[in-house]
Chains A and B, each alone.
Chain A
Amino acid sequence: MTGQEIVFTLLGIVAVGSALLVVTTRQLVHAALWLVVSFGALAGGYLVLTAEFVAWVQVLIYVGAVVVLLLFGIMLTRAPIGETADLDSGNRWVAAGVAVATAAVLITVLVMGFRDAYTPLEPGGGSADQLGASVFRTWVLPFEVLSVLLLAALVGAIVLSRSDIGPEHEREDG
């Protein structure tokens, strides 16, 4: 085991463990905060894999924006702050079975398929310099389409969340 593998294993344990806490904790706000730990550990994993720019984007967008949005959603739906007993539905054992089966199939296939796949990690491959050059040279058309998609999502979120626009009968419901 090289040093990189040890560091990645530790970060992976943190990410998977906090992800487990996200799906098993009984407090809604704690789930959002464990999500921060999981995404942060995953950003560290991207750094080990020499994908620096993706790591910083992960910190900015996931840890910064998505978790704050989720906390806003928890606040606006007036979720109880303390422990709540009914966060899990009745089919949790079936769900656990499906999840274990998914993990078994994926890990078996991936480990058998990439048994002798080694990659040397050389720094500089995922810097903002190289990634920016390839985004704005090769992938510029998907980039522009993505900005249109973001605009559409923004307009859609505004239309959905405003109550004073929309069809007549919905306005009467208030």
Chain B
Amino acid sequence: MHLAYPLVVAALLFSIGVYGVLARRNAILVLMSVELMLNAVNLNLVTFDVWWRDRLHGGQVLTLFTIVIAAAEIGLGLAIVLLVYRNRRMIDVDRLRDLAEEPDEPGGPEGAAPAAGDGGAEGERTGERVL
């Protein structure tokens, strides 16, 4: 089997994942695109393990490890998304702009500092005012 077939499929999957991470607004869809990118890496690892005929099966064992790490990542990521949803009532990554610098903000850094310290409700109010 020519090695180009799995490599091209992996490259296409990775770039589709890049598009999804950059273009999607919903945080859960961003997590799905990250999974697509991880799967592309897994396909590359399996391909090169088969090509080199590694006696220790380093590529396939690393694929298993990556799958486990992806499962842990999706669990923590969803917990964070649920926490954001509980505080903000929305998970649009475009509108989570509390950490963005606003050059035309009249308060400047003095106005932003207490909002970051107060957390939850105050931060949400600042976010709405900026929008």
**A residues adjacent to B (C-beta < 8 A):** 2, 4-5, 8-9, 12, 15-16, 19-20, 22-23, 28, 31-32, 35, 38-39, 42, 45-46, 48-51, 53-54, 57-58, 61-62, 65-66, 69-70, 72-74, 76-79, 86-92, 94-96, 98-100, 102-103, 106-107, 110-111, 114-115, 117-121, 125-126, 130-131, 134-135, 138-139, 142-143, 146, 149-150, 153-154, 156-157, 160-161, 163, 169-170, 173
Cβ–Cβ contact B22 & A90, under 8 A: no
Complex interface: chain A residues within 8 A of B32 (CB): 22, 31-32, 35, 70
Which of B75-83, B97-105, B107-115 lies at the binding interface?
A: B75-83
Of residues 1 through 45 on chain B, the ones whose CB sits less than 8 Å from some CB of chain A are: 1-9, 11-20, 22-26, 28-29, 31-33, 35-36, 39, 42-43
B15 contact from A54, A106, A126, A169, Cβ within 8 A: A106
Complex interface: chain A residues within 8 A of B46 (CB): 46, 49, 51, 54, 126
A139 contact from B13, B47, B61, B93, Cβ within 8 A: B61
A118 contact from B1, B24, B82, Cβ within 8 A: B1
Cβ–Cβ contact B60 & A126, under 8 A: yes
Write the nearest CB–CB distance from A103 to chain B, whole angstroms: 4
B72 contact from A32, A107, A153, Cβ within 8 A: A153
Complex interface: chain B residues within 8 A of A78 (CB): 85
In the assembled complex, B130 has its CB within 8 A of some CB on chain A: no
Write the nearest CB–CB distance from B94 to chain A, whole angstroms: 5
Cβ–Cβ contact A99 & B121, under 8 A: no
Write the nearest CB–CB distance from A131 to chain B, whole angstroms: 6
Which bucket holds chain B's interface residue count? 35 or more
Tell me the dominant secondary structure on chain A's binding face: helix
A169 contact from B61, B78, B86, B120, Cβ within 8 A: B120
Cβ–Cβ contact A99 & B18, under 8 A: yes
Complex interface: chain A residues within 8 A of B93 (CB): 89
Write the nearest CB–CB distance from A7 to chain B, whole angstroms: 10
Cβ–Cβ contact B61 & A57, under 8 A: no
Residues A134 and B9 in contact in the complex (CB < 8 Å), given A23-B19, A42-B39, A42-B43: no
Q: Kindly state the separation between the CA atoms of A88 and B92 in the bound complex, as whole angstroms.
A: 10
Number of A-B contacts (CB under 8 A): 262
Residue ID in chain B nearest A130 by CB atoms: B57
Cβ–Cβ contact B50 & A50, under 8 A: yes
Write the nearest CB–CB distance from B56 to chain A, whole angstroms: 5
A88 contact from B25, B51, B91, Cβ within 8 A: B25
Residues A54 and B24 in contact in the complex (CB < 8 Å), given A38-B36, A118-B2, A161-B79: no
Write the nearest CB–CB distance from B22 to chain A, whole angstroms: 3
Residue ID in chain B nearest A161 by CB atoms: B79
Q: Kindly state the separation between the CA atoms of A104 and B77 in the bound complex, as whole angstroms.
A: 30
Residue ID in chain B nearest A135 by CB atoms: B61
Cβ–Cβ contact A150 & B72, under 8 A: yes
